Structure 1
């Protein structure tokens, strides 16, 4: 077991945003979290990262998964996209939580960072300024940083937001490749098609009892069909 969510309710100032969440992930799972804006997806991510405590229930990590061994790729703000640091510096920052009081990155950390840059095909521009990169390249840099924090569990919050269709497909394929290498994936998304193609489990959060099961069961469920129709209509601007 990598992560277990047991009757968890989350909220702010005593007011619940999402209630009675239950799911369990094993090593190598690929979970897609779906739901409308404000349904509690990002709040759940914060709880998994240990940044927010449940109002009720328990989030239990596997025995070999520590809080600082979870890689996180957040949604970027406009200001963050303009960050004036080199690609290498940003990738290395994935080790900050493990570095503790050490003033410098050690040889092993630099070696792993180099490996992850090569792994994500961003090594050729490791000396470039992050803000000069394309949106797709920036996402690869942030993913490489997340991989420096973990080899076990990646949390991805809308990892393809704002990317064009070709770069979106490349990013999804890259994430799937990491999953096939044994990394457990939790991805927040609005994209039911991506869930259908890549995930093996789906968690749908809403103001009604949540859905958690295989992607096959989700696509056949009433909430799955309803959400797929809603998402398609929204994308078409109807």
Structure 2
């Protein structure tokens, strides 16, 4: 599905925390239509790289270029779920609408267009029937699909997913994979997913990036 047109180009980037570099002098291109899976052992730089792509972590050296008119606002980011997020005392609708904070000038009153977009994302992740439910009372799989809906609200062209099925049972994991596959194939979304599931990477990805031997950490 990739058309080999670069959306993101990494030029000699170095990423890390404090005095520790984790990703060193790395060159890579992500193309329109990619379903890129990033695999590798814990600590090898997968999440660090994804955070760099998301703009959460700035490169210590080098440059991450957005190409083909891609903007940060076109990129949705689903980080690993935290304990605090799991217990967040808000409705599903409130969680998803929070993706638009900073885009609406009349917060907390969201306009019709933003609410329609939120409803669309709930439908895409099969969570529209949970709209009024309390987030903290959902199952693990339901919570992850709601957070995916939230990420989708910000994603017009690209989704960055950090281990989206971690901690989920097999059925919930398969539901997530099916939704992500549909987003890629039917909504033409470029996907970048960090995963430990090599079988899923082989099955769904159009490209696989193996960080195991990439850097000497």
TM-score by length of 1: 0.82
Do 1:18 and 1:206's aligned partners in 2 also have CA atoms closer than 8 Å? no
Deviation of 1:20 after TM superposition, in Å, equals: 2.5
State the secondary structure of the residue aligned to 1:2. Answer: strand
Provide, for residues 179-203 of structure 1, a one-character-per-residue CA deviation record: whole Å limited to 9, x for no partner.
1121000101111111100011111
2:153 counterpart residue number: 148
1:50 to 51, 55, 63: 55
Instruction: Tell me which residue corresponds to 1:199.
Output: 205
Q: Residue deviations 1:151-186, cap 9 Å, x none? A: 211010100001111111111111011011210001
Distance 1:198 1:6, change over 3 A: same
Q: CA deviation at 1:70?
A: 1.2
**Correspondence for 1:116:** 121
Report the CA distance between 1:100 and its aligned residue: 5.9
Q: Is contact 1:34-1:204 (8 Å) kept? A: yes
Of Structure 1 and Structure 2, which has the larger fraction of its residues in helix?
1
Match of 1:230 in 2: none
Corresponding residue SS for 2:36: strand
Any unmatched runs of 5+ in structure 2? 1-5
Offset at residue 12 of structure 1 (A):
2.1
| Equivalenced residues, count | 210
The 5-angstrom pairing of residues 106-185 of structure 1 reads: 106-180=111-185, 181-185=187-191
Of 168, 189, 194, the match for 1:188: 194
Q: Give the structure 2 partner of residue 77 of structure 1.
A: 82
Which consecutive unaligned segments of at least 5 residues does structure 1 have?
211-238
**2-side partners of 1:174 and 1:143: how far apart?**
10
Separation in 2 of the partners of 1:60 and 1:34? 23
Question: Greater CA radius of gyration, 1 or 2?
Answer: 1
CA contact (8 A) 2:23 2:215 kept: no
Q: What CA distance in whole angstroms lies between the structure 1 residues aligned with 2:55 and 2:146?
A: 24
1:100-111 correspondence runs (5 A): 102-111=107-116
